[in-house]
Chains A and B, each alone.
Chain A
Amino acid sequence: MKKTLGILLLLILTCVVTALSSDAFLNGANVENLIRRIGLYGLLGVAVSFVIVTGGIDLSIGSIVCLTGCGLPWLVAKVGWDPALALPLLLGGAVVIGLIHGLLVTKLKLQPFVVTLCGLLVYRGMMRGLTGDQSLGFGNGFKALRFAGAGKLELAGGFGIPMPFVILMVVAVLAAVFFNKTVWGRHLRALGNNEEAARFSGVATDRLVIASYVICSLLSAVAGMLFVMDVNSAQPSDFGSFYELYAIAAAVLGGCSLRGGRAAVAGVLVGAALMQVLRNMIVLVFPRQQNLEYAVIGLVILAGVIADELINRRRERRRLRA
């Protein structure tokens, strides 16, 4: 909780600084767009925290975003399938991918890094091959379908919350409840800390790990579709590339430990928000330094992780002295 508080302060600070330095920050369209992006990237952050809590990692997230983000407009706009057929097919595909990742990690005991690194290459490569690497979009059609990504939940007084953010809130609440209140969540945290002890206690460790990879792939697939519904244009060669890193960074900033065993959904949301506000700040406040975006984000994450480690160490030392 303390950890979330620290990063929340950093988020607020970034918002205040940006608002003071640029009038455009609090502009309605900018805020709306920012919230939409937080919704989209937040979803990926929540997705990867399921795998991170088991002590694993999923590097294929960006490629799954590409797979469904390009796959959806390709199937419905190019190939001419009904969305009612395309959606379940793509989501089903994601489940199969998660299943394969999970099985390879648990049954063959391959390292998650290696398995999902191969996934990263395979899924994007497949999509580029299938679509002929051409630019894809919905054109002017499919308004109803695109509502989930581009629409807003209209509230009284002309305000509206972008749909991806609404979806993120629902998913985040479900995930938080899952981690903290259910037997599976408790088992997952136990196995993330000490898989052997969990197995010795009769926890179905393999099944839980497999389920985590499935949930991660599935949520990434959903996010990929929402992304393309929003921007209406996807290039298989770069759509979603590096998104796994945004997701992992959000999770780590938010307090998930890559060693496993710790899940902090609220923190992940704040972490995802922080990164999007930072990007927004660079665009608005330092428009001429936009090319430094990655460098700035990278340094902020590094600073956050270093600060966290130092705080932890001090706490540990105090604990050992006690």
Chain B
Amino acid sequence: MRLLEASGIGKRYSGVRALGGVDLTLERGEVLALIGENGAGKSTLMKILAGVQEADEGEIRIDGKPVRFRSVADAMDAGIALIHQELNLAPNLDAASNIFLGREPRKFGLIDETRMRREAAGFLEMAGLAMDPAAGLEGLSTGKLQQVEIAKALSVDARILIMDEPTSSLSQAETEVLFGVIRSLKSRGVAVIYISHRLGEVTELADRVSVLRDGANAGELARGEVDRERMIRLMVGRDLSEFYPGHAGVPGEVLLEVEKLRTSYWPDHEVSFRVRAGEVVGVAGLVGAGRSELLRCLFGIDRPLAGVIRVRGVEFEPENPRRAIAAGLALVPEDRKTQGLVLEMGVPDNLALASLWRDRRRGGWVNEAAVDELERRMGEAMRIKAAPGQAVGLLSGGNQQKVAFGKWLAMEPAVLLLDEPTRGVDVGAKREIHTLMAGLAERGKAVLFVSSDLEEVLGMADRVLVMHEGRLAGELDRGEASEESVMRLATGTKDFEAA
């Protein structure tokens, strides 16, 4: 008998079909990867399985018995727990309180702290996290927070864990830890539904891959059949000739030069490097190595402690983003929702936000015609899909990222700083963004990007800068860069100073 069997699941949102007749099965102790482009219906399906929403049609069976989830609590009672992309923890409470939030063991009406901590310790251990259950969560890395969430799910006796893009903000090392946890859960008979855009991880982890496309099953791959080409073909319904586009940019003059830059994040360590016109340079490293902080300093968001930055050979003091923009820099930030976009505003206002003052005004007046023109031009060039007047908060991740990107392109910056340019973006949009990056290099821009997706770094970068604890641990050419060589530097296994 199957642990979970969902058949003919359908869901409509005000008449529009999000899912139609989708089937999904899950065995005990199985890791099922669910993949598909954004908008394929993965999230809707997971919300239905976790009781966040009810299906319009179809049937869910657990251990062969039909069930109906009217709420998340119903699904939990049946043993299904959803680990959200955005973690739902209260950082001001300790780990044990978080794990037992709402279900605290009591004694004489008061919380039985001793018992709660003792039991929490057990669940934390199962989740592979060695921490004091009485310790607070503040300052824990995303990876560890995720493990606390897993412990929480285990504490309600979950037999099915649904993980939505669990590695999107994890470093390589944290990802490995998470995989270890998943494998050990698997051996206890816990089944995992794993949603990810990272096909390398899927290949490594999944016992079976189920692909959704346009709200319907697009196919399934058994362990032996899983490979990148097949997955992409099923997801997009066509072949993508090669995953990472190359570019014909020729390294030219040095556009960005950083000398002995120190950030307050790693005050004792300094970074020096150069990026030339027509180059795509990737910055790899573990989370916390100071990569985002480096970009923030270059763009004037945080003040560097010391060091010299030159753009097109001209020294500039990164006092604030305005200065950085004037010097010819642009930053597509790490978190598009809080840093890249004004979610309540529409596409044209967001696209024009950075260039309004410089290029799209007449005196103090907004030049609406120029704003409309910008929207038309970028909308076409980047294939942004949005209804007129639609707030960008309602767009898919890929379209949002294109808007966050698009606002800089019209300004013709010399150097583009990209922080996790394709995080949480589907395969199709990812490819479009990669093509865009290659195109920028061909047009003589310098592209410096930070990514925790090692595949992306190796696939896109002409040169890889590897950071470790605030320092440049090394610099690798395209030929030298491999998963192994990058990881060795990133983990500080073998240090050598870059020239």
C-alpha spacing A185/B353, complex, angstroms: 12
> Which chain A residues (302-322) contact chain B, with CB distance < 8 Å?
318-322
- A78 sits at the interface (CB 8 A): no
How many angstroms from the CA of A201 to the CA of B333 in the assembled complex? Answer: 10
Report Cα–Cα, A246/B437, bound state, in Å: 53
Quick check: A200 and B366 within 8 Å, CB to CB?
no
Per the 8 Å Cβ criterion, residues 154-195 of A in contact with B are 181-187, 189-190, 193-194
A112 at the interface (CB under 8 A from B): no
Q: Is A143 an interface residue (CB 8 A)?
A: no
With A181-B366, A321-B13 as known contacts, state yes or no: A202 contacts B341, CB within 8 Å. no
Q: Which of A181, A187, A193, A199 contacts B356 (CB 8 A)?
A: A187
Asked if A196 lies at the interface with its beta carbon under 8 angstroms from chain B, I say yes
B321 near A200: Cβ-Cβ < 8 Å? yes
B199 neighbours in A (Cβ, 8 Å): none
Once the chains bind, are A322 and B14 in contact (CB under 8 Å)?
A: yes
Which residue of chain B has the shortest Cβ distance to A260 in the bound complex? B344
* B271 CB within 8 Å of chain A: no
Shortest Cβ distance from residue A1 to the other chain B in the assembled complex, whole angstroms: 13
Is B364 located at the chain interface by the 8 A CB criterion? yes
A249 vs chain B, min Cβ distance (A): 23
Cross-chain contact B366 with A186 (CB below 8 angstroms)? yes
A183-B357, A183-B361, A194-B342 known; A201+B394 contact, CB < 8 A? no
B349 CB within 8 Å of chain A: yes
Q: Which residues of A contact B394 (CB under 8 A)?
A: 319
**Which chain B residues numbered 51 to 71 have a C-beta less than 8 Å away from chain A?**
none
CA distance A313 to B322 in the complex (A): 37
The answer to whether A194 touches B343 (Cβ under 8 A) is yes
Residues B353 and A198 in contact, CB atoms below 8 Å apart: yes
Q: Closest A-chain residue to B357, C-beta based? A: A183
B286-333 contacts to A, CB under 8 A, are 299, 301, 320-322, 324-325, 331, 333
- Cα-based distance from A140 to B405 in the complex (angstroms): 66
Q: Are the CB atoms of A190 and B364 closer together than 8 Å?
A: no
Which residues from chain A contact B366 at a C-beta distance below 8 Å?
Answer: 181-183, 185-186
| Given A189-B345, A318-B14: A202 and B338 interface contact (C-beta under 8 Å) | no
Q: Which residues on the A side are within 8 Å of B407 (C-beta)?
A: 201
Q: Is B16 an interface residue (CB 8 A)?
A: yes
Q: CB of A5 within 8 A of chain B? A: no
In the bound complex, residues from chain B placing their C-beta under 8 Å from that of A200 are 299, 301, 321, 331, 333, 339-340
CA gap between A181 and B324 in the complex, in Å: 27
On whether A321 and B14 interact (CB within 8 A), knowing A184-B364, A190-B342, A201-B321, the answer reads yes
- Cβ-based interface call for B108 (8 A): no
Cα A86 to Cα B212 in complex, Å, equals: 74
Whether A240 is near chain B, meaning CB under 8 Å from some CB there, is no
Do A202 and B325 touch across chains, with their CB atoms under 8 A apart? yes
**Interchain CB contact under 8 A, A186 and B301:** no
Known: A193-B344, A194-B343. A183 touches B365 (CB 8 A): yes
Q: Closest B-chain residue to A257, C-beta based?
A: B344
Residue A110 is within 8 A (CB to CB) of chain B in the complex: no
- Chain B residues near A204: list those with CB within 8 A: 320, 322
Report how far A193 CA is from B342 CA in the complex, Å: 6
Known interface pairs A181-B365, A183-B357, A202-B325; A197-B14 also in contact (CB < 8 Å): no
Given known contacts A183-B361, A190-B349, A203-B353, A198 and B342 CB-to-CB distance under 8 angstroms = yes
CB distance A322 to B339 under 8 Å? no
Tell me if B365 and A196 are in contact (CB < 8 A). Answer: no
Chain A positions within 8 Å of B395 at CB level: none
Interface string of B384-408 (1 = CB under 8 A from A): 0000000000100000000000010
Any A CB within 8 A of the CB of B354: yes
Enumerate chain B residues within 8 angstroms of A224, measured Cβ to Cβ: none
Question: Which residues of A are found within 8 Å of B341, using beta-carbon distances?
Answer: 194, 197
Number of A-B contacts (CB under 8 A): 80
Task: Give the dominant DSSP class at B's interface.
Answer: mixed
Q: Are B342 and A199 in contact (CB under 8 A)?
A: no
User: Which chain B positions have C-beta within 8 A of A189?
Assistant: 345
Q: Given that A190-B342, A199-B301 are contacting pairs, would A182 and B14 also be in contact in the complex, using a CB cutoff of 8 Å? A: no
Q: Using a CB-CB cutoff of 8 Å, which residues 192-244 of chain B contact chain A?
A: none
A322 touches B16 (CB 8 A): yes
By a CB distance below 8 angstroms, the chain B residues around A321 are 13-14
The complex places the Cα of A315 from the Cα of B55 at a distance, in Å, of: 22
* CA–CA, A321 and B53, complex, Å: 11
Distance, CA A235 to CA B91, complexed state (A): 50
**A193-221 vs B, Cβ < 8 Å mask (1 yes, 0 no):** 11011111111100000000000000000
- B365 / chain A contacts, CB cutoff of 8 Å: 181-183
Contact A182 B349 (CB under 8 A): no
CA distance A72 to B340 in the complex (A): 48
Residue of B nearest to A185 (CB): B366
Query: Is A98 part of the contact surface with B, judged by Cβ < 8 Å?
Result: no
Residue with the highest number of chain B CB atoms closer than 10 Å, among A194, A196, A202, A321: A202
Contacts of A196 on B, CB cut-off 8 Å? 338-339
Cβ of A236 under 8 Å from chain B: no
A125 CA to B268 CA in the complex, in Å? 50
A200 and B302 CA atoms in complex are apart in Å by 11
Complex Cα distance, B395 from A322, in Å, reads 12
**Closest Cβ–Cβ distance, residue A18 to chain B (whole Å):** 37
Contacts of B14 in A (CB 8 A): 318, 321-322
Pick from B16, B321, B407 the residue with the most CB of A within 10 Å: B321
Best-buried of A181, A193, A204 by chain B (most CB within 10 Å): A193
Interface residues of B, Cβ cutoff 8 Å to A: 13-14, 16, 299, 301, 320-322, 324-325, 331, 333, 338-345, 349, 352-354, 356-357, 361, 364-366, 394, 407
> Top 6 nearest A-B pairs by Cβ distance?
A201-B354, A202-B325, A321-B13, A201-B353, A202-B322, A194-B342
Point out residues on A near B: beta carbons under 8 Å.
Answer: 181-187, 189-190, 193-194, 196-204, 261, 318-322
Q: Name 20 A/B residue pairs within 8 A (Cβ), A-sorted.
A: A181-B366, A183-B357, A183-B361, A183-B366, A185-B366, A186-B353, A186-B356, A186-B366, A189-B345, A193-B344, A194-B341, A194-B343, A197-B341, A199-B321, A200-B301, A200-B333, A204-B322, A318-B14, A321-B14, A322-B16
A-B contacts besides A193-B343, A198-B342, 7 pairs, CB < 8 Å: A197-B341, A198-B353, A200-B301, A200-B331, A201-B353, A202-B324, A203-B353
